[in-house]
Amino acid sequence: MFGIYLENLRLNSALVHSINNYVTANDCANVLLACGASPIMSDDLEDAIDIIKICDVLNINIGTLNTRITKSMIACGMKANELNKLIILDPVGLGASRMRNKIVSDLISKVKINIIKGNISEIKNLIGIACETRGVDANLSDKLEENNLEKIISITKKFCEAHEIIIVITGEIDLVCDKNKAYIIHNGNFMMSKITGAGCMLSVLISAFVAKSNNLCDATAAAVIAMGLCGEKAYARMSKLDGNASYKNYLLDEIYKLNARELDAGAKYKKINL
Amino acid sequence: MFGIYLENLRLNSALVHSINNYVTANDCANVLLACGASPIMSDDLEDAIDIIKICDVLNINIGTLNTRITKSMIACGMKANELNKLIILDPVGLGASRMRNKIVSDLISKVKINIIKGNISEIKNLIGIACETRGVDANLSDKLEENNLEKIISITKKFCEAHEIIIVITGEIDLVCDKNKAYIIHNGNFMMSKITGAGCMLSVLISAFVAKSNNLCDATAAAVIAMGLCGEKAYARMSKLDGNASYKNYLLDEIYKLNARELDAGAKYKKINL
Amino acid sequence: MFGIYLENLRLNSALVHSINNYVTANDCANVLLACGASPIMSDDLEDAIDIIKICDVLNINIGTLNTRITKSMIACGMKANELNKLIILDPVGLGASRMRNKIVSDLISKVKINIIKGNISEIKNLIGIACETRGVDANLSDKLEENNLEKIISITKKFCEAHEIIIVITGEIDLVCDKNKAYIIHNGNFMMSKITGAGCMLSVLISAFVAKSNNLCDATAAAVIAMGLCGEKAYARMSKLDGNASYKNYLLDEIYKLNARELDAGAKYKKINL
């Protein structure tokens, strides 16, 4: 069921424009090549609004911001909307600074975003920022666990409905949610938190999976499962000599090697209709 | 015949100043160390024009541009000219945005560039930009293949003559051309297109090889052959467990280990006098 | 004796804010995760002065400067002082440009820095800059060797006393010095000079080690020994197939795996009371 999205990507490729932070840019570009897509990274306003024209999708990552780049994000996002290109947002460190809150607030008010992926803290802040003038209860827990899943899904679903958006929450359990359904995903490995940029890599992977899909939510879930599954496979390859650097290499290698059949066979998820 | 350029570099080192894109900067720096050179990367106008003074050569890569950095490229390029340092240009993504076309147009009109390396699409755009006010036929094909080699070489030769420059075109076949001769190079491996920055790495490798050489064209060909040969060797080292991340590591490892004898023994090329 | 600092870090973690150069940012972030700390990298003035509030320590690396970032360094450094957070400075390429000299001069006059780490050339320039209006003898040699250790320690000690600071000088021999004592450290491996960023990685490692320590000088020495020891272990893991890319991975892997007992057992140092 999910493998088809990977197969489709490997057959049709996709050109992904990522306004990326510079810390993880290289890994993100290699993840895109690993899954069958191609990367272009441009963060200058003038350059980016031209680059988006030839790309299939726009990924925005706010990890290393500055005022020049935030302007590019808004302008390039508006251009992507005009050209009917999908936009994925990775609100890295949302809540940690006023500037990060400001750019995300600006983006969701001025640009139609299709998918936002963050950890529970970032998504909590996202919903808080989006709802702050409306007094909505966004009192999410700080951890995504079995015993608070129901509440988190309920709040997230409302946000998805109001904003016509897909939300991905990553953690020990991953959640992919739109207004109609939620995927609760149990793939993944603790080593993914021992390397920098696993989240950024997931964000570009989602961008590639959805680029030419006609089912955004399922393609997003496919990417989240693929990432988690590769995280498991990479861990299985580790020897006693290996640490987090080797693990990162193995993770990218697994994405490179993954095929549709393995993705379907390894998927650990539950679907809930909302 | 080509091994001597590597040997020379390993004996005399070279300090390479690269105004690099941030996506591939780390790999490019490690490639320089692998081949026996040393990297300095500085993209600020004020800083860069001081740094170039202590360096042997300047590499300019336009992969992640902004208006601040384009100014540095021009100013640092002019300073390099003044100091008689060689300049290598990697016009990443030329043709994909007006800004990229503009900076390359500015560079070739204001700065004496010694070597430009690009894929066929970038070089096609380069020749188009350089010739656009002169109505010259720059109708290059989009692929460099045996059956159009002759035409491509003929057009490229004219450009080399007019601009006193060396052109490198990369692809399945690589071409190194100046006004008098062309090297048609068959080294390389398809995996090089599955990692980000193989082109950027080649560009800094050329910079290192030519830094202290008195035969620019042959030293350039030596670097192109070295890169392709290391790409082959890296592929030979791959196991079934490996993907593009391991491949990238192997590629750099091979550059680190390559010696003059192996380079000469592995070179697959044809030389044509023009 | 030194292992306790690593153990403490692994138990209590530390959030390290690094204003990092973009060439080595990814490796530095992964080194922080490897040693048990967490990285945040932000170089925008507005963003950085918020980010520092939630961090334990600030690392400043001047490798890829521009005027926007130098302003952030000063402002964020002053904010860190105000909040009583430790500051580590890595004056990459000091002496190679007026801009690098200027920012270091500004930093040491406007911001209370706790630790500065550089190679002998950078530290020589540092002492020269700091002393230039006072005519002090800063005539350091260009190499740190057994036969000039005494003189270098004597000059460095005076600087440490005058500036209430810890100085780390890296090279074949490493030196950690404050006003009362010096550690002469013999750990390390020549391969560390064949990868880009070993110095930057050491700088963030020191930041992590000192973040929650109450003995700055010993915690700094512990980090320097840890880095050198991991450099040795990484070299021991190399096969004939490996080059500098594999070495870099092994180095990070070793940091990930290192424990307190191994650190104590492998430490090669001499302590001198001054």
ipTM: 0.95
Contacts of C43 (CB under 8 A, 6+ apart): A64, A66, C19, C20, C68, C69, C72
Write out pLDDT tens, residues A9-48.
999 999 999 999 999 999 999 999 999 999 999 999 999 9
Chain A residue closest in CA terms to C41:
A64
Q: Is the CB of A198 inside 8 Å of chain B's CB atoms?
A: no
Measure the CA angle with vertex A217, ends A8 and A267; round to 5°: 70
| Interchain contact, C252 vs A244, CB within 8 Å | yes
Helix, coil or strand: residue C97: coil
Q: Is the CB of B254 inside 8 Å of chain C's CB atoms?
A: yes
Mutate to test the interface with A, among B21, B71, B97, B101 (most CBs of A within 10 A): B97
Q: Supply the pLDDT for residue A130.
A: 74
Q: Is the CB of A23 inside 8 Å of chain C's CB atoms?
A: yes
Helix, coil or strand: residue B229: helix
Give the nearest partner residue to A249 out of B24, B93, B246, using CB atoms: B246
Chain A residue closest in CA terms to C43:
A64
Give the nearest partner residue to C195 out of B30, B51, B68, using CB atoms: B30
A contacts of C29 (beta carbons < 8 Å): 23, 196-197
Contact (CB, 8 A) for A87 and C64:
no
Tokens of B78: 């002019």
Residue type present at position B146? E
Write out pLDDT tens, residues C16-51.
999 999 999 999 999 999 999 999 999 999 999 999
Which of residues 29 through 88 in chain A touch B, CB cutoff 8 A?
Answer: 29-30, 33-34, 39-44, 46-47, 50-51, 54, 68
Per-residue confidence band for B130, with pLDDT thresholds at 50, 70 and 90: confident
| Interchain contact, B257 vs C243, CB within 8 Å | yes
Q: From the centroid of its chain, how far is CA A60? A: 10
Distance (Å) from the alpha carbon of B138 to chain A's nearest alpha carbon: 23
For chain A, residues with pLDDT lower than 50 are 133-138
Q: Is the CB of B244 inside 8 Å of chain A's CB atoms?
A: yes
Give the nearest partner residue to C25 out of A23, A67, A99, using CB atoms: A23
Chain C residue closest in CA terms to A240:
C257
Q: What does DSSP say about strands A15-19 and A38-40: parallel, antiparallel, or unpaired?
A: parallel
pTM over 0.90: yes
Write out pLDDT tens, residues C145-204.
888 899 999 999 999 999 999 999 999 999 999 999 999 999 999 999 999 999 999 999
| Interchain contact, C249 vs A249, CB within 8 Å | yes
CA contacts within 13 A on the Cβ side of B130: 26
Contacts of B34 (CB under 8 A, 6+ apart): B252, B253, B255, B256, C194, C243, C244, C245
Tokens of C2: 């030194």
